[in-house]
Every structure is written in structure tokens, then in C-alpha cells.
Amino acid sequence: MTLEQTNRKEGSNLAPAGKVGVLLVNLGTPDGTDYWPMRRYLAEFLSDRRVIEWPRAIWYPVLYGIVLARRPKKSGALYAKIWNTERNESPLRTFTRAQGEKLAAVLADNASIIVDWAMRYGSPSIETVTKSLIERGCDRIVMFPLYPQYSATTTATVNDKFFEALSKLRFQPAIRTVPAYPGEPVYIDALASSIERHLAGLAFQPEVVIASYHGIPQSYSQRGDPYHEQCLETTRLLRKRLGWDEKKLLTCFQSRFGPEEWLQPYTDKTVEKLAREGVKSVAVFNPGFVSDCLETLEEIAVEAAETFRKAGGENFTHIPCLNDSDEGMAVIEALVRREISGWV
């Protein structure tokens, strides 16, 4: 029995089936910069077993006794620096919405496709949007975790939450998930074009360019997470595409949290070291982030720039993420069209 037949039999008010849903999913965002919105967001994020793998008996007293008492205020102040005050939301939500709207526009010639977007943490939730797609007649869904490099802390937890939402349904749609794409030519070309265009508009040329990826604990990598290798692959292919060597384009990792050793070299330590060694001009970009967010707009564009200049550097530039640029949308569109082929 098809979904449409099931709906008729059970008297459902769902839309007629036969449509294909495309669900873009990004990391997540708080709903505001005040204490309680930040606390709700951080509690959901930091209680995820994929993100923090410590035993709950050890981690929860730290999380609820220390972290959630102090970090919401500090994180809220940082978010306030980059907040989209016009829309009263974080840049990550603004860009993800724009990506969804632009993808819907380019696929609008096929009325059977419905595009929507969600967040792993915060709102709109994966469960809410998945239900909405089904209610609008989607009996097939392509779910796209917006992470170029795979990690259990990102891609896997999005998959977990998506299938958790499906586990609550009596009738489940057919599913495809978009895999990580660290070496996809369209992605490498988009990054290279974005970098070249940005550097062409500068009054200086950086001596060193840093590809700064979000870090993960080294123990995760040692237990089989392929993230580190995929980041290195992206950088290697970018060097080849741009014609740069290993001294010109570096791979670094940022955003470490807690007492564990994370993937190295660390971005903040690297920009400081470069400045102390006499490097005067540096550019940093974030190939692991599809959209600009707190970790790029504040941690890199502000904090890393200050670290570099305080250590003796002079010229620092942050190259924006692909966001909803033409290059960025070309990547999303190409990967989505590949996955929906045969369905539409």
C-alpha cells in the first residue's frame, strides 16, 4: 500500500504523495543571545553523545554543574557581536534559509520537488521539518547534512536525529542521504574560485594561507573517525588546484574544547607562531564550514586576527565561507541533483 493509499484509508489530511523532499540540515543555532536561549542550545548540543563521548556519570556533573552555569553568558556575548540584528537571528540561520530558498528557486521547474531546511540543534528541528515534508506529500526525501568532511560529531549525529524522527512514524518515506564530499571537483573549484576572487580584491597578498577546520579530539580520530584524513584531502586538492605548495597553504584546526588533545596544529597557535617568525600577511578560510557562523566570524575574523597582530603580524584577512554565493549554491545544487536523479 502506498503512502497515498494509506492516507486515504486512515482519513489523513496529508497532501497527495508522489513528491520528493530535499532537506538541508546545518549544525544549529540559539534562538537568542540571552542566558536562557543560549543555555537551551548549549545543553542540547553538549549533551549529544556523538559530540562529547565521555561517560555520562563523569560529563553530566561537569556540564550541568559548571559549563551551563558559566558558558551561556560568555557565548551569548560572543554571538551578540555577530548577530543579524535585522532578522534577530544568527548568521548561520540566515545563510541556511537563503541556501534553501535559492535551491528551491533553481529546482522550481519541477513541481514534484519540495526544498526545506532544518537545524540539528535548535530550531527549526529536524523532526518538525521532516514531518512537514511528509505532510506536503513527500514519499521520498533526500537529506543533506551540510558538512563537506565526514565526522561522527557532525554528519553522523544529523543522520541519527533524522532517523530518530523517522522511527516515530508508521509510514516512512524512501530515504537518501548526501555523503560527505571532501574531494568533489565542484566543491574544490568553488573554494578555489572564492579564494582567488577574495585575494584579487586585497591591497596585499598573503604570504601564508590557512585552511582552518573545526577540530575534534584526537581520541575520536584514533578510534576511526575519518575526519582528519578528509580535511587533509581537501587541502591537498586545493593546493593542486591553486598551484600552491605546503608552505603557502597550511592545514590547521580550531575551536577546541575541554582538557583533551585535539587535532593539531591549532589555528590560534599557528597564526601567533607565524607572526613571531616574521610573517606579516596571512589569510584564513574555513573549508569545513558551509556557512559563516560564530566559529568563523568571531573566532577567526576577530580573535585570530587580534592574536596575529598582537604577535607582530600586520595584514590579516578572513575569506568568507561559500554561504549562499553562486559558487556555494553550485556545490549544493550539483550534489542534490546527483542524489535525486532517478527519482525525478
Note whether 173 and 38 are same-domain residues. yes
Note whether 30 and 156 are same-domain residues. yes
Report the CATH number that the domain containing residue 65 is assigned in CATH. 3.40.50.1400
Closest CA to 110 of 211, 20, 195: 20
Residue partners of 181: CB distance under 8 A and separation at least 6: 148, 187, 331, 335
Are 318 and 284 spatial neighbours (Cβ–Cβ below 8 Å)?
Answer: yes
Question: What is the residue range of 304's domain?
Answer: 185-319
- β-strand partners of 144: 24
Give Cα separations from 263 to 59, 236, 249 (angstroms). 21, 17, 17
Note whether 230 and 309 are same-domain residues. yes
DSSP for 25-80, written as a single string: EEEEE-S-SSHHHHHHHHHHHHT-TTT--S-HHHHHHHIIIIIHHHHHHHHHHHHH
Note whether 167 and 239 are same-domain residues. no
Distance CA 30, CA 38 (A): 6
Instruction: Count the domains in the chain.
Output: 2
Note whether 216 and 263 are same-domain residues. yes
Show the DSSP H helices in 107-256 as ranges.
126-135, 157-167, 185-200, 218-222, 227-242
Grid cell for residue 10: 486512515
Distance CA 329, CA 161 (A): 25
pLDDT on residue 138: 97
Distance CA 216, CA 225 (A): 9
- Max intra-chain CA distance, the chain: 74
Note whether 164 and 280 are same-domain residues. no
Note whether 257 and 336 are same-domain residues. no
Mean pLDDT by 10 residues, the chain (344 residues): 45 70 98 97 97 96 96 97 97 98 97 97 98 97 98 98 96 96 98 98 98 98 98 98 98 94 98 98 98 98 98 98 98 98 91
Are 297 and 332 spatial neighbours (Cβ–Cβ below 8 Å)?
Answer: no
Note whether 146 and 197 are same-domain residues. no
pLDDT on residue 288: 98
pLDDT on residue 258: 86
C-beta atoms surrounding 203 within 10 Å: 6
Residue partners of 212: CB distance under 8 A and separation at least 6: 252, 253, 254, 267, 284, 285, 286, 300, 304
C-beta atoms surrounding 199 within 10 Å: 16
pLDDT on residue 8: 42
Note whether 283 and 308 are same-domain residues. yes
pLDDT on residue 344: 87
pLDDT on residue 87: 96
Note whether 158 and 41 are same-domain residues. yes
DSSP 8-state code for residue 171? S
Closest CA to 333 of 17, 28, 18, 113: 113
Are 155 and 50 spatial neighbours (Cβ–Cβ below 8 Å)?
Answer: no
Note whether 18 and 156 are same-domain residues. yes
Where residue 90 falls (left for φ over 0; alpha for ψ -120 to 50; beta otherwise) is beta
Closest CA to 205 of 279, 310, 287, 307: 279
Note whether 65 and 128 are same-domain residues. yes
